[in-house]
Chain A
């Protein structure tokens, strides 16, 4: 279902999700062309989690994502060129090239920190929520993490402490393990957890939980909004699990474009999708599901969506030019920013 938002907002949300998709498809091409910028993770197939989740928050709320952070940074309005420059290690990057794809952040946009350590941001986000409560701010903090983080002790320690202190935090678990190959089968690692239901782990310390289909933007939006209302009302943390299937290009250890760029027409002409990804585009891609929902609700025409697509792709090309034309930082910059500037 579509999120409970005004039509114009629903179109803005689409534009932002599409930006994430187009930016990352281009990133995969850049990686293939070289030079290498190291290991990276893409958010393709999860846009309908992060972007609607951000739409359910206020701009004053804070969000702490992981190494799979591009969707959150772009979703919050980070400049696509400066994010790409960061991923390429350029001086004009969001963090001057010090963070790269794994640690890109934008404190000015309410993303103070991202961590590439599994479970790393869970207690940090809860601590930010504690600060919000102590300072008497009407502010919510969100920890974003994958299902693998539920294997870490930091998750349980934080759920317990956050439940005891009733801090205004939402734990957003992006479970992208449905259909994942797993390390044992030579694919990207998938979580290995004895609990049949991840929500049970959060329930064990009394947290309210919601499990939603991560391809359903409206369901994600509603669960996050409910969590935010609870947090602002002083009722403490909420655990939200959003489940998606792994995008086939994310199954190998290095992201690929197994069948080229996503075409919006696959949403209404599934027979035109490449056979390898036909099932994924038809049933598992939240972005194309959202396209179908917009069209079904007569909120946009195919032509209008195509126009947005060409605008987004032009913006991405501009970002690529900005980032590739940007210079690397001067060597001396390696020694800066070890401590806070006084």
Chain B
């Protein structure tokens, strides 16, 4: 599954050459660049790429910068707090929490210290700390290792939330998060790690709050985040043969959120499907639906549709986990329903 349509050797703009990297390689490259360029950059955490075979890609960063890559004890609450304190005292820190579900062990520090600290200080503080999480349905993660806590975290003012979906995006967004001076939750999907895509050699950092149109289309807007972007792109591909032209918008960051990109696309298509791996109630899709409902109801020709993970814990059995997944089939069905909705209005 390619993440972009750019070919491996395609020349980029103005002397920037593109190569193909996996998402995991791009992430490691971003960390390596930060280590190289910023002597104050610190990584706390051992398993940036999880426990799978890809984890060895990170070894070269660990080997090159042993004083700035620290392996903490299994103490998420403390080591997230260490990251916050280090960021309050002059370092730029990425704390790798590992599996996103483990962030619950550290909620007092992430949600009640980091998110509030700048505000409580009256803006007299900067807090350049990034919490790195691996979220999502990972095949066999079961109930305690499959969380997508970005929706809960979105209900916490003071945290930036980054959800890259491609190798180029992870490489471009990570330095922006680290340099932003504000606490940030950087959420990668475990299934993204092996995906390949073009990554410019010397790309500029990608600013936070700028959505990316992953596919242009006229008929239906699909807003998707993280791994769901790829599920949506597969669905869009299939629907092309049915004559449905799908636009896929990837917000890339939900805090800050590029509302304009979403509203402009909906203004053109008049139809909106939102795909996301957070649970249905109060999920990422709920908020985006509410924004469009409040701001662009007049543009809608069909009711907004959400393709999300149902409100049940994640089961272990592959037969059951796949049942909950926002698959290309479910997304395609939702898009078709948009086109034939009995509410569907013509302009």
B342 to chain A, nearest CB (A): 42
The interface centre, meaning the residue of B42, B108, B121 with most chain A CB atoms within 10 A of its CB, is: B121
Contacts of A153 in B (CB 8 A): 77
Distance of A50 Cα from B120 Cα, bound (Å): 22
A333 to chain B, nearest CB (A): 9
Known contacts A124-B88, A126-B81, A340-B181; A95 and B121 CB within 8 A of each other = yes
B122 touches A93 (CB 8 A): yes
Residue of A whose beta carbon sits closest to that of B160: A339
Interface-facing stretch out of A103-111, A174-182, A213-221: A103-111
B68 touches A134 (CB 8 A): yes
A158 touches B81 (CB 8 A): yes
Interface-facing stretch out of A73-81, A115-123, A253-261: A115-123
Q: Which of A317-342 contact B (CB under 8 A)?
A: 336-342
Interface string of B71-114 (1 = CB under 8 A from A): 01101011111111111111100000000000000001100110
Contact among B75, B90, B128 with A161 in the assembled complex (CB-CB below 8 Å): B75
Contacts of B80 in A (CB 8 A): 123
A154 within 8 A of B: yes
Known contacts A123-B77, A129-B85, A131-B89; A108 and B182 CB within 8 A of each other = no
Contacts of A107 in B (CB 8 A): 88, 121, 124-125
Contact among A93, A127, A157 with B89 in the assembled complex (CB-CB below 8 Å): A127
B120 touches A124 (CB 8 A): no
Residue of B whose beta carbon sits closest to that of A125: B85
B59 within 8 A of A: no
Residue of A whose beta carbon sits closest to that of B72: A161
Contact among A99, A120, A141, A341 with B112 in the assembled complex (CB-CB below 8 Å): A120
Interface string of A75-98 (1 = CB under 8 A from B): 000000000000000000111111
Residue of A whose beta carbon sits closest to that of B125: A107
Contact among A98, A127, A157 with B120 in the assembled complex (CB-CB below 8 Å): A98
B89 touches A141 (CB 8 A): yes
A322 to chain B, nearest CB (A): 17
Contact among B75, B88, B119 with A338 in the assembled complex (CB-CB below 8 Å): B119
Distance of A127 Cα from B109 Cα, bound (Å): 12
Residue of B whose beta carbon sits closest to that of A336: B123
B64 to chain A, nearest CB (A): 16
Contact among A103, A123, A135 with B40 in the assembled complex (CB-CB below 8 Å): A135
Interface size of B by Cβ–Cβ distance < 8 Å?
A: 46
Known contacts A127-B84, A154-B81; A341 and B123 CB within 8 A of each other = yes
A165 touches B70 (CB 8 A): yes
Q: Which of B122-145 contact A (CB under 8 A)?
A: 122-128
A160 within 8 A of B: yes
Contacts of B182 in A (CB 8 A): 339-340
Contacts of A337 in B (CB 8 A): 118-119, 121-123
Q: Which of B7-42 contact A (CB under 8 A)?
A: 40, 42
A132 within 8 A of B: yes
B157 within 8 A of A: yes
Contacts of B112 in A (CB 8 A): 115, 117, 120
A64 within 8 A of B: yes
A172 to chain B, nearest CB (A): 15
Q: Interface extent on A, as a size class?
A: 35 or more
Distance of A54 Cα from B116 Cα, bound (Å): 26
B158 within 8 A of A: yes
A249 within 8 A of B: no
Contact among A103, A108, A128, A154 with B78 in the assembled complex (CB-CB below 8 Å): A154
A62 within 8 A of B: yes
Q: Which of B176-220 contact A (CB under 8 A)?
A: 180-182
Distance of A99 Cα from B117 Cα, bound (Å): 9
B63 within 8 A of A: no
B98 to chain A, nearest CB (A): 15
Distance of A236 Cα from B157 Cα, bound (Å): 36
Residue of A whose beta carbon sits closest to that of B179: A342
Contact among A94, A97, A120, A161 with B82 in the assembled complex (CB-CB below 8 Å): A161
Contact among B42, B108, B121 with A105 in the assembled complex (CB-CB below 8 Å): B121
A297 within 8 A of B: no
A213 to chain B, nearest CB (A): 29
A245 to chain B, nearest CB (A): 30
A152 to chain B, nearest CB (A): 9
Residue of A whose beta carbon sits closest to that of B129: A127
Contacts of B123 in A (CB 8 A): 96, 336-337, 340-341
A148 within 8 A of B: no
Contacts of A97 in B (CB 8 A): 122
Known contacts A132-B89, A161-B78; A120 and B124 CB within 8 A of each other = no
The interface centre, meaning the residue of A94, A115, A164 with most chain B CB atoms within 10 A of its CB, is: A115
Contacts of A18 in B (CB 8 A): none
B88 touches A128 (CB 8 A): yes
B107 to chain A, nearest CB (A): 11
Distance of A99 Cα from B125 Cα, bound (Å): 12
Distance of A153 Cα from B80 Cα, bound (Å): 13
Distance of A94 Cα from B122 Cα, bound (Å): 8
B78 touches A120 (CB 8 A): no
A267 within 8 A of B: no
Residue of A whose beta carbon sits closest to that of B68: A134
Contact among B67, B121, B125, B126 with A134 in the assembled complex (CB-CB below 8 Å): B67
A105 touches B124 (CB 8 A): yes
Distance of A115 Cα from B83 Cα, bound (Å): 16
B70 to chain A, nearest CB (A): 7
Distance of A164 Cα from B118 Cα, bound (Å): 29
Given contacts A134-B91, A141-B89, A158-B81, 14 further A-B contacts (CB under 8 A): A103-B121, A105-B120, A113-B120, A113-B121, A117-B112, A127-B81, A127-B87, A131-B91, A134-B42, A161-B73, A161-B75, A339-B182, A340-B123, A340-B182
A-B contact pairs, 10 of them (CB 8 A): A105-B125, A115-B113, A124-B82, A127-B89, A130-B86, A154-B77, A154-B78, A157-B75, A337-B123, A338-B118
By Cβ-Cβ distance, the 7 closest A-B pairs, closest first, are A123-B81, A127-B85, A157-B78, A95-B122, A340-B181, A337-B123, A96-B122
